[in-house]
Amino acid sequence: MGRITIQNLSKTYINRRRFPRGDDDPQVRQGERITVLKDINLEIENGEMVCFLGPSGCGKSTLLRIIAGFEPACGGVVQVNGQPVTGPSADHIFVFQHSGLFPWMTVAENVGLGLRHLKNHHSRQAQVTEFIEMVELEGFEHHYPRQLSGGMQRRAELARALAVNPDIMIMDEPFSGLDFLTHMKMREEVVNMHAFIRKTMLLVTHNIDDALIMGDHIVILGSSPTAVTMDRILDFPRPRNFEKSPELGRLRSELFLMLGINYAV
Ligand SMILES: Nc1ncnc2c1ncn2[C@@H]1O[C@H](COP(=O)(O)OP(=O)(O)OP(=O)(O)O)[C@@H](O)[C@H]1O
């Protein structure tokens, strides 16, 4: 289960670097308070693919770090499956990171990390093989990360995430730095993987098309301080196609406008 409830969430950072050196005034020494998130309310259903969009610096990563328990909130509540988040939970949440593979381990060893609990060597190996096949990396089981292309490394990371089998998978700009075709391929793979595992996935992206093609639910955050400016369930049929679905195309133009771009490209 991966149901998330966020109520009146707020987050303030203190910019301690702002006080002048040697200033002993306690108020000044407290530093300038920067409110990043204010009154965020969201309901995320189990199994949803939620795409977060918003201008740079609006607090998308901060929000995901709070959900993952890496960062405390300053106000409000975040609950996962009805339980308040009080810290990181390796059992429930997997944070998909760039270069998250251990460089001294092969692809199979990296993927196998998530299956350490399986005592039977043969069933563990069988599952490692299954996940590696799922991301089409068969033949590269014994390669080290440095021997893989950027796209293959991301696929190996996906296989590792699948092996961990978390309730919630968090992906912060998972396609950044990939070339156009690899980006498209990875996007397709994540959509297929999600359709297969139906786990809750939270994905931060700067790419409106990614959000529209992938998301069951789109959340747009506005800045200064960040509030939810759009919270919308997408029920367009899949595979999604802008040419075949004029409504999807209209929503695309609307999102471009909301994010300050007048002419959708
Ligand atoms: N540890 C911190 N201390 C002080 N300020 C911070 C800290 N972490 C983040 N911030 C500030 O919080 C704001 C939101 O940062 P965050 O990384 O969440 O934005 P984002 O929307 O993910 O940005 P981007 O899209 O550029 O990755 C920024 O103004 C950032 O400077």
Q: Is the ipTM of this complex over 0.85?
A: yes
Encode pLDDT of 132-153 as tens digits: 998 889 999 999 999 999 889 9
Cβ proximity of 111 and 163 under 8 Å: yes
**Given this structure, which CATH class describes domain 4-92+166-258?**
alpha beta
- How many angstroms is it from 62 CA to the middle of ligand 1? 6
Any ligand 1 atom below 6 A from CB of 54: yes
pLDDT score recorded for residue 119: 78
pTM given for the model: 0.88
Encode pLDDT of 222-248 as tens digits: 877 778 999 999 999 988 988 888 999
The CA distance from 88 to 95, in Å, is 10
Q: How far is CA 71 from the centre of its chain?
A: 15
| 134 or 214, greater pLDDT | 214
- How many angstroms is it from 84 CA to the middle of ligand 1? 23
| Sign (positive or negative) of CA dihedral 155, 157, 159, 161 | negative
Any ligand 1 atom below 6 A from CB of 7: no
Q: What is the DSSP string of 183-212?
A: HHHHHHHHHHHHHHH--EEEEE-S-HHHHH
| Sign (positive or negative) of CA dihedral 110, 116, 122, 128 | negative
Cβ proximity of 199 and 166 under 8 Å: yes
Orientation of helix 150-164 relative to helix 180-197, angle to 10°: 10
